[in-house]
């Protein structure tokens, strides 16, 4: 299981260059971008830079590739074993990392620099991850000097799918996709280490670079033209992607999602960038978010997307993962749950019966970690006459239990649970960067998040930029 992202770590300070948008890809929707250049650029020297946050693992996912019919392909992709693979088949060059990339809570930055004119073979393909050159590979091979690649020629190029197939789609968030035609650049042309947190790699503005003939910069800022080249006219065509797939979850403001690797009994399926969770199981299924909190005041929303007549859905906050199917997300200690039949639980006891939930209902979930109270609202109406701004009095609040003793970490996580006995039930998380259309639009006091209902004073969305608002 990947380590959860605790607010206070792996975050980006709010000053400096900000990336406004990413593009959310869902492999089940066959999302991809494509273009065939009008002519060849530099076939020997080029650079690819991209930021990516994974939303699926264990599958072949092609980030960028070029291929024409039966000709050899050039590609950059995740393998089924979660290694990162550079396959320049046209010049017999290949690098497969020994380490794997399974973290779905954080962003990766990949830079691939190709220069076949180099006299030393190991300098002809270089891979950098988060600013550091990767040097450990499984059986690497390098192109011959001055070899000409098929990539950057007048053949089909895809972003997010393997050319010529109906599979190998990516699943996750892509930001700052850059192609430099004619130069093999260093990662420092695209990013830098944070001066206050020198282990944190953050992006730099690439707009001043020289992109070359077929170079491009996809910033995904125009929701009506998501394939637009911000550096010129090398636009990409969009397939099965829409304005709702533009996301504010980026490498400079990382948002919470469901944790793919904390999927109890592996009984849930995930869609829409780990925001939609569907349970398709005969056993219980539980999922936690990627962010844990122990102080501050936090808010998220849940849209009910599939509420079976026999299903039981629970949403709320939970301290530790279930260890057996008897750990139902309702009557256990160190958690609070609002179930779809209206019952609300806290720290092992049923507290109150509120309004039942149906498809398209939106649940507001509030956690005052400073005073240890959870509150719920259905479609904007507070349950149990709750008042999330009541502070220590906790008017209508639910006590989830003593978080400090709940887990070794002492953190609570947003959670979804199903103990329905084979029913297909599901929800759509909104941690501030929703995958569905919001009709109103509300943000927290720092201007972060996009919610259907108002965020109470002092409450914040679960994103890395809110670190400065919580006195961690």
218-253 pLDDT, tens per residue?
Answer: 999 999 999 999 999 999 999 999 999 999 999 999
The tens digit of pLDDT for each residue in 341-359 reads: 888 988 888 899 889 988 9
Q: What is the pLDDT of residues 41-74, one digit of tens each?
A: 999 999 999 999 999 999 999 999 999 988 899 9
Which one is predicted more confidently, 149 or 326? 149
Domains within the chain, CATH numbers bracketed: 20-247 (2.60.120.200), 258-469 (2.60.120.920)
300: pLDDT strictly greater than 80: yes
Comparison of pLDDT for 450 and 288, the residue scoring more: 450
Q: Is the pLDDT of residue 309 over 50?
A: no
**Which one has a higher pLDDT value, 159 or 413?**
159
SS (H, E, C) the chain: CCCCEEECECCCCCCCCCCCCEEEECHHHCCEEEECCCCCCCCCEEEEEEEEEECCCCCCEEEEEECCCCCCCEEEEECCCCCEEEEEHHHCEEEEECCCCCCCCCCEEEEEEEECCCCCHHHCEEEEECCEECCCECCCECCCCCCCCCCCCCCCEEECCCCCCCCCCCCEEEEEEEEEECCCCCHHHCEEECCCCCCCEEECCCCCCCCCCCCEEECCCCCCCCCCCCCCCCCCEEECCCHHHEECCECCECECCEEEEEEHHHCEEEECCCCEEEEECCCCEEEEECEEECCCEEEEEEEEEECCCCCCEEEEEECCCCCCCCCCCCCCCCEEEEECCCEEEECCEEEEECCCCCCCCEEEEEEECCCCEEEEEECCEEHHHCCCCCHHHCCCCECCCCHHHCCCCCCEEEEEEECCCCCEEEEEEECCCCCCCCCCCECCCCCCCCECCCCCCCCECCEHHHHHHCCC
| pLDDT at residue 273 tops 70 | yes
Which pLDDT does position 274 carry in this prediction?
96
Per-residue pLDDT band at 4 (split at 50, 70, 90): very low
Would you state the pLDDT for residue 30? 95
For residues 81-110, average pLDDT: 97
Q: Is the pLDDT of residue 408 over 90?
A: no
**pLDDT tens column, 362-397:** 999 999 999 999 999 999 999 999 999 999 999 999
Give the pLDDT of residue 63: 98
pLDDT level of residue 452 (50, 70, 90 thresholds): very high
Give the residue with greater pLDDT, 402 vs 218. 218
């Amino acid at each position: 299981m990947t380590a959860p992202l605790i607010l206070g770590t792996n975050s980006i300070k709010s000053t400096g260059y900000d990336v406004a948008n990413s593009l959310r890809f869902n492999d089940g929707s066959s999302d991809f971008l494509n273009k065939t250049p009008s002519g060849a650029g530099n076939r020997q020297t080029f650079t690819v830079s991209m930021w990516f946050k994974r939303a699926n693992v264990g599958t072949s996912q092609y980030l960028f590739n070029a291929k024409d019919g039966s000709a050899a392909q050039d590609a950059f992709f995740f393998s089924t074993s979660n290694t990162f693979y550079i396959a320049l088949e046209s010049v017999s060059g290949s690098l497969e990392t020994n380490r794997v990339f399974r973290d779905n809570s954080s962003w990766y930055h990949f830079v691939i620099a190709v220069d076949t004119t180099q006299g030393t073979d190991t300098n002809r393909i270089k891979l950098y991850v988060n600013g550091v050159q990767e040097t450990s590979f499984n059986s690497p091979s390098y192109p011959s000097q001055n070899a000409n690649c098929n990539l950057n020629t007048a053949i089909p190029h895809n972003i997010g799918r393997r050319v010529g197939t109906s599979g190998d789609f990516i699943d996750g968030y892509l930001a700052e996709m850059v192609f430099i035609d004619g130069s093999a650049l260093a990662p420092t042309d695209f990013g830098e280490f944070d001066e206050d947190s020198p282990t944190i790699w953050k992006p730099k503005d690439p707009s001043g670079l020289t992109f070359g003939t077929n170079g491009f910069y996809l910033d995904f800022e125009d929701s009506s033209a998501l394939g637009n080249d911000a550096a010129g006219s090398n636009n990409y065509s969009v397939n099965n992607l829409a304005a709702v797939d533009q996301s504010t979850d980026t490498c400079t403001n990382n948002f919470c999602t469901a944790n793919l690797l904390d999927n109890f009994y592996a009984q849930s399926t995930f869609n829409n960038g780990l925001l939609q969770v569907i349970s398709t199981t005969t056993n219980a299924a539980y999922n936690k978010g990627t962010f844990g909190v122990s102080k501050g005041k936090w808010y998220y929303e849940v849209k009910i997307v599939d509420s079976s007549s026999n299903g039981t859905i629970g949403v709320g906050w939970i301290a530790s993962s279930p260890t057996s199917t008897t750990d139902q997300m309702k009557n256990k200690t160190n958690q609070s749950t609002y179930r779809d039949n209206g019952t609300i639980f806290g720290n092992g006891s049923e507290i109150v019966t509120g309004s039942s939930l149906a498809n398209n209902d939106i649940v507001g979930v509030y956690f005052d970690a400073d005073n240890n109270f959870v509150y719920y609202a259905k479609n904007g109406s507070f349950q149990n006459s709750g008042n999330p701004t009541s502070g220590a009095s906790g008017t209508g609040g639910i006590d989830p239990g003593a978080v400090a003793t709940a887990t070794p970490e002492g953190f609570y996580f947003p959670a979804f649970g199903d103990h329905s006995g084979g029913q297909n039930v599901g929800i759509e998380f909104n941690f501030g960067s929703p995958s569905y259309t919001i009709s109103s639009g509300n943000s927290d006091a720092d201007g972060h998040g996009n919610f259907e209902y108002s965020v109470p004073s002092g409450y914040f969305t679960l994103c890395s930029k809110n670190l400065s608002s919580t006195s961690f």
